[in-house]
Amino acid sequence: MAQVQCPNGHLYEQVTHSACPSCPAPEQAASFSGSDAQTVLPAQAASGLRASGDSTLTVTDNRTAQTYTLPLQDGNIRALDLRRIKVHPDDFGMVSYDPAYLNTAACKSSITFIDGDKGILRYRGYAIEDLAEKCNFLEVAYLLLLGELPTEAESKEWEYKIQHHTMLHENAKKFMDGFHHNAHPMGMLVSTIAALSTFYPKARHVTDPDERMLNVLRLIAKMPTMAAYAYRHSRGFPYVYPDNSLSYTQNFMNMLWQMTEPNYVVNPSLARALDVLFILHADHEQNCGTTVMRCVGSAQADPFLTMAAAAAALAGPLHGGANEEVIKMLDEIGSVDHIPAYIRRVKAGELKLMGFGHRVYKSYDPRASIIKKAADEVFAVTGSNRRLDIALELERIALQDDYFMRRNLYPNVDFYSGIMYQALGFAPEMFTVLFAIPRTVGWLAQWQEMLEDPEQKIARPRQVYTGPELRKLASHP
C-alpha cells in the first residue's frame, strides 16, 4: 500500500485510513488562523498555518473554545508559549511532542544554512561549492569559528597556532597503548578525547573566552594526531610525531603512513582531495552529534568531555557509519552486471540502497557532486577502482528510475566518500574517525555559539508520561 504524509508530518496508509490516525480528531483539535489571509510564512505553509499581519498566530482550542494569540519570532512560535493553552487553570499546559526533533528548533544559529529541497549548503553565507574550490580546510575552520574568512596574515597566524598544539602528551600516548591491539579506532579516539580533560584541568572554565579559544586550538590540532595514533596502534606500528612543516592534511597523512623513510612524500593531489573532504564534513547544522555537543555543553562540561560525547554519537552506524555501509553494498553487488538484479531486490523491499536519500536533502546532496568531481582527480593518481565503476552505473540507473525519483532518493555525501577514502589508503574502520576530524570544527563552533547565547540554559526536555497513575503498595507479611 502507498503511504502518504499528512500536514503534520505523519506517514499513514491512505487505503486503510481516510485521514491520518495519528492526528487528533476534529472535536479534539486546536484550530489555527490568522487575521491576514494574504500572509503565509514558508515555515507554516506546509501545515496550513497562517500568520497574521502583525506577526502573531491565533489558536483556538476547540476543547474550551478559548482563543490564544501567540507571537511569532522569525516566522515560528516559541514552544514555551504553548504552555498558555490549558483546559483547567491548574494544568501544566500544552507541550509539543516531537520524537527525534523532526520539527523542533532548539537554537538560533548563524553558522550553517541548509535548504534540503533545493540542495543548498552554506557556511556563514558562503556556498559549499565555492569554499571547496577556493579555500583550504583551516581557512574554512577559521570561518566557522570566527565568522569571517581570514586575511592572508590572519591565515598564517591561525595555521601557526594550530601547528604548535599538535603534540600529544607522552602520558596520553601511554593511555592509548593500553588499548587492545584490535580495539576499534573510533573507540580509542572517543576515549582519548575524554582523557585529555584530565591533562587540561583549566578547560572547565568554559566562560573564559581566552581559555575557551586555547582549548579550541588544542582540539583542532590534536585530533589528527590522536586519529593517526589510533590507526597505527591497531596496526602495531610505532607512533610518528607531528611535522609542523607540513599542511594540516599532509601532516595527518605523514603520521599515518610514514615508515622507515626519513621523509614521507605526500602526493599533493591526494592531500588536496582529503582537504576537500574535510571541508565538506566540517559542519552540517543540528544533526545528532551536534545536538549532543550542545546538550552536554549546556551543562558547562569542559570541551574535551563535551566533544567526546559528540564523537560517541558520531560512532553510531546511523550517524557516522553510513559510508562504510556503502562499501559493503558495492562489494555485495560485485560487478556492474549484477546491478539490475540488486535494484529489483531494493524495489521489492528486500534490501536498502545505501548512500541514497537524506533526512534533510530532498534533492541531490550538494556535497555528493563535489566529492564525485574530486574522485576523478584521486583516481587519476591511484588508478581505476572497481567500486567506482559500480557506483557510477548504480547512480545512473537509479536516477533514471521513477521509483527512486518519486521518493527523493538521490546520492548523498556517503555514497562517494567511502570509495574515495579507500582509494586514499584508509581502511573502512577509519571512516568515522576521518569524519570526526573535520567535524571537530563544527562541533566547537556550535558549542561556542551556544555558550554565548543568552537564551540558552541547561538542556532539559519534557516528556509525555504514559505510565500508570498512583498505585498503592500492598503490605507484605
Query: Radius of gyration over alpha carbons of the chain, in Å?
Result: 25
DSSP 427: -
Tell me the C-alpha distance between 315 and 335, whole Å: 30
Catalytic residue among 358, 376, 401, 453: 358
Query: Are the C-beta atoms of residues 202 and 211 closer than 8 Å to each other?
Result: yes
Residue 33, classified by CB atoms within 10 Å of its CB into exposed (0-12), middle (13-18) or buried (19+), is middle
Tell me the C-alpha distance between 72 and 61, whole Å: 18
Q: Residues 297, 300, 302, 305: is their CA dihedral positive or negative?
A: negative
Catalytic residue among 283, 302, 365, 414: 414
List the end-to-end C-alpha distance of the chain, in Å, as a whole number.
57
| Residues 6+ positions from 25 with CB-CB distance below 8 Å | none
What amino acid occupies position 224?
P
Query: Are the C-beta atoms of residues 141 and 282 closer than 8 Å to each other?
Result: yes
Active site residue 164: no
Give the CA dihedral 213, 219, 220, 223, nearest 10 degrees.
Answer: 180
Helix (H) or strand (E) holding 400: none
Tell me the C-alpha distance between 311 and 288, whole Å: 10
Tell me the C-alpha distance between 55 and 34, whole Å: 9
Catalytic residue among 169, 319, 401, 453: 319
Active site residue 319: yes
> Could you give phi then psi for residue 115, rounded to 5 degrees?
-120, 100
Tell me the C-alpha distance between 438 and 318, whole Å: 19
Active site residue 358: yes
Tell me the C-alpha distance between 293 and 279, whole Å: 19
What are the catalytic residues? 319, 358, 414
